[in-house]
Amino acid sequence: MKETVFKINISVKIPEQSRVYEQLISTINELPGVTRVDLPSDHTFETVEMSVSVRFNNAEEAQSLHKKILRLITRCDGVCVAGISYDLNAMFGES
């Protein structure tokens, strides 16, 4: 199995940020293949970087997992994706 971390910059546009973050982390953690979700403890910034650690067997599985995570984020009320990044070598490399 391969491992990588998806780094997703998100922004919450509603007052109850911590409740939204807790719900989002819990939902993403339920996805098969997700091993950890991290957010900075200080949620006072407009945009924060969420790190989602994942395990996968092949590139197709990694892409599918990435899409599911983004779909969950965009369906969460008041949350928008401000940017994404991930390690392409880990996802598509031969090692």
Q: Which domains does the chain have, with CATH numbers?
A: 2-92 (3.30.70.1340)
The answer to pTM > 0.85 is no
With vertex at residue 35, the alpha carbon angle to CA 27 and CA 86, rounded to the nearest 5 degrees, is 90
CB 18 within 8 A of CB 43: yes
**pLDDT tens for the chain, residues 1 to 95:** 888 888 999 888 777 777 888 888 999 999 999 999 998 876 666 788 889 999 999 888 888 998 999 999 989 888 888 887 766 565 656 54
Gap between the Cα atoms of 49 and 38, Å rounded: 8
Overall residue count recorded for the chain in this entry: 95
Element (H, E) at 10: strand 2-12
